[in-house]
Amino acid sequence: MRPSISVLGTGLMGSALVRALRTAEYPVVAWNRTRARAEPLAECGARIADSVADAVAASDIVITNVLDYGSTRSLLEDEAVAAELDGTLLIELTSGSPDEAREATAWAESHGARWLDGAVLATPDLIGTREAALVISGDPDAFAEAEPALEALGEAIHVGTAAGHANAVDAAVLSMMWGGLFGVLHAIAVGQAEGVDLEMLEARMPSAFAVIGQMATDLARRTAAGRFDADEETLSTVLTHAGALGHLRAVMDASGIDPAVVNGYGHFFGKAEAAGRLDADFAAMSTFMKAAD
């Protein structure tokens, strides 16, 4: 028999989580601060709890998905709720930082609860499909227990026992996303400044993404292996990229496009040059971003 699952927070994401769990035939108890926002979920068979304590007492597995960790804490800290936490498996799917995850894990464990910390790498419309990824960190046994339910929400990936790892992966993915998206926004600005047809530019995007995909894999593997010097498998050196940046800056300067983000690239190439590393593999650039040892 499928275990009952309580979901605290039925905003856009929480509602999608409830619906996907119901589709997979889990008994679900839903609670939301604004009850009216949870009530439509009764139509898919969720029971709407009268209080957080009611929801927590109803299930062995409790998923939290609210605005932030502070909101989660304010719900769980309530005396009546904290009294129900012993033995509960809490799965925090609210977005936050690694520090917040570590702190929340310690707090939950001090109240006898088990805590898995997760991040949803998907929009609500993808929940319940294999396109939604959920990264989860924490105790592997707790993950194994929750995995079937988490798999009803998307692809559930255990990213490590350390509490902060799921939020660290989430932050790293956000960095990749914005790096890519700001690149596209600049490409559009450059295209517009030079009168390039945006449909034509859009048609070129797949080939650019193919290059990024190949290089991204190469950067991660080289960094893991510490292979920062250029070798026979190097795809491009720091100098190659630094030179190409000059072409981009020229067009941006000529057309008055705000170079703030691109100036950041120049900052790191400057560090590489000062360190005498222009002849290194491009993967060496990550060494200039790390915190000083």
Specify the stretch interacting with ligand NAP by CB under 6 A; choose among 6-14, 129-137, 141-149, 253-261.
6-14
Q: Cβ 117 to ligand NAP, closest distance in Å?
A: 12
Site for ligand NAP in 223-242 (CB under 6 A): none
Q: Which stretch binds ligand NAP (CB under 6 A): 26-34, 104-112, 145-153, 207-215?
A: 26-34
| Residue 12 near ligand NAP by CB under 6 A | yes
Binding to ligand NAP (CB under 6 A) within 44-73 occurs at 65-67, 71
Q: Please, are residues 31 and 48 in contact by the beta-carbon 8 Å criterion? A: yes
Question: Which one, 88 or 95, has the nearer CB to ligand NAP?
Answer: 95
Closest CA to 90 of 112, 122, 67, 120: 112
Of 126 and 188, the one with the shorter C-beta distance to ligand NAP is 126
Closest distance to ligand NAP from the beta carbon of 63 (Å): 11
Nearer to ligand NAP, 93 or 113 (CB): 93
The contacts found for 236-239 with CB under 8 angstroms, 24 or more apart, are: 236/281, 236/282, 237/278, 237/279, 237/280, 237/281, 237/282, 238/269, 238/272, 238/277, 238/278, 238/279, 238/280, 238/281, 238/282, 238/284, 238/285, 239/278, 239/279
**In terms of C-beta density within 10 A (0-12 exposed, 13-18 middle, 19 or more buried), how is residue 101 classed?**
buried
Query: Structure tokens of 77?
Result: 């800290």
CA distances from 55 to 6, 8, 58, 192, 238 (A): 6, 8, 5, 53, 55
Stretch that binds ligand NAP, among 76-84, 107-115, 117-125, 204-212 (CB under 6 A): 117-125
Which listed residue (120, 146, 168, 272) binds ligand NAP by CB under 6 A? 120
In the complex with ligand NAP, which residue's Cβ is closer, 74 or 175? Answer: 74
131/95 Cα distance (integer angstroms) = 18
By CB under 6 A, tell whether 74 contacts ligand NAP: yes
Instruction: Tell me the number of residues near ligand NAP by CB under 6 A.
Output: 21
| Residues at the contact surface with ligand NAP, assessed by CB under 6 A | 9-14, 32-34, 37, 65-67, 71, 74-75, 94-95, 120, 123-124
